[in-house]
Amino acid sequence: MKNLIKPERIPISALSGVTEKSIQEIIAEDPSIIGLGELVLKDKERIQPRAGRLDLLMQDPDTNRRYEIEIQLGKTDASHIIRTVEYWDIEKKRYPQYEHCAVIIAEDITSRFLNVISLFNGYIPLVAIQMNAIKMGDDVGLMFTKILDEMPLGLVDEDEEIQEVTDREYWVKRGTPATVKMADEILKLINSFKPGYELKYNKFYIGLAKDGQPNNFAVFRPKKNYMRLEMRLPKSDEVDEIIEANDLDEMGYDNRWGNYRIRLNKGEISKKTEVIRNLLEKSEKNFNE
């Protein structure tokens, strides 16, 4: 049996030759180390009009979501937060076709500034990541820990849903009778493990209701040639493996809304009933616990 080593946390400033620039290079070489998925580097030191330079611009290749990332050694301060939000806002206005998320990476995110950052969350998609230098024997590694995630947005509230209620015919016109019928098939699966649900036709999606109240742990968006199933579930390796192992067509995880998005083609529900039901059960349990 190998000996267990107790890692020692040391200040990054104590490491000779380590600067914000060198950490930027490390993250650029392997973006996965910061824990935001398999991102790709779009730019470094990106010039912002009249506002300095953005440390890193990353993009999710599956969803085309962009991350404006700022790095700071030592403690966070007010200027760091303002600069991060400002760069996020500039990029969002320049490239509105993408979703954007601001990311703060700092060695010490104090409770005071964590509270300030939390005030933005829900209005500005913002993630705070703490980085630590960990010494293990003669080696030193960087560890990144997400300490503040984006606040997931809820679906439209009940009053808005009432205003936007449509009917089945509306969705038949937007999709086709066949793709709308796929929502019926999913509803049948849901009622097989949790009876009492019915479809609720809204302007932007077909949702679920139980006892007359919205309960949208899953929503459906029929298209002309397929239906998109969206399930409210935290992103996890377990769910990712289930989706990949069963060859489901994931259309990219929606971090802002906390949804897995699955493209279902005609006839696919009957072929993959068990795995779809499994995912729906997980989603219902997660949403209603």
For residue range 198-229, list pLDDT tens digits in order. 999 998 899 999 988 899 999 999 999 999 99
Phi–psi pair at 253, nearest 5 degrees: -75, 135
List the domain boundaries for the chain. 8-148, 158-288
Query: Which stretches of the chain are DSSP H helices?
Result: 20-29, 78-94, 111-120, 158-163, 168-174, 177-193, 237-245, 268-271, 273-288
Q: Are 77 and 113 in contact (CB under 8 A)?
A: yes
Structure tokens at 62: 């599956």
Q: What is the pLDDT of residue 122?
A: 65
Structure tokens at 119: 């005030």
Confidence of residue 162 (pLDDT cuts 50, 70, 90): very low
Q: Summarize the confidence of residues 170-182 as an average pLDDT.
A: 94
Torsion over CA of 253, 235, 113 and 90, rounded to 10 degrees? -10
Q: What is the pLDDT of residue 4?
A: 66
CATH placement of domain 158-288: 3.90.1150.200
C-alpha 189: how far from its chain's center? 26
What are the counts of helices (DSSP H) followed by strands (DSSP E) for the chain?
Answer: 9, 14
Q: Summarize the confidence of residues 67-91 as an average pLDDT.
A: 88
Task: Write the CA distances from 3 to 137, 149, 288, integer angstroms.
Answer: 12, 35, 44
More confident residue, 50 or 26: 26
**pTM of the prediction?**
0.57
Scan for tokens 């769910």, then name that residue.
239
In angstroms, the CA 203 to CA 62 distance is 26
Q: Summarize the confidence of residues 179-199 as an average pLDDT.
A: 95
Q: Tell me the longest C-alpha to C-alpha distance in the chain.
A: 68
In angstroms, the CA 105 to CA 129 distance is 5
The closest of 97, 104, 90, 35 to 65, measured between CA atoms, is: 97
The closest of 155, 184, 157, 156 to 168, measured between CA atoms, is: 184
CATH topology of domain 8-148: Trna Endonuclease; Chain: A, domain 1 (3.40.1350)
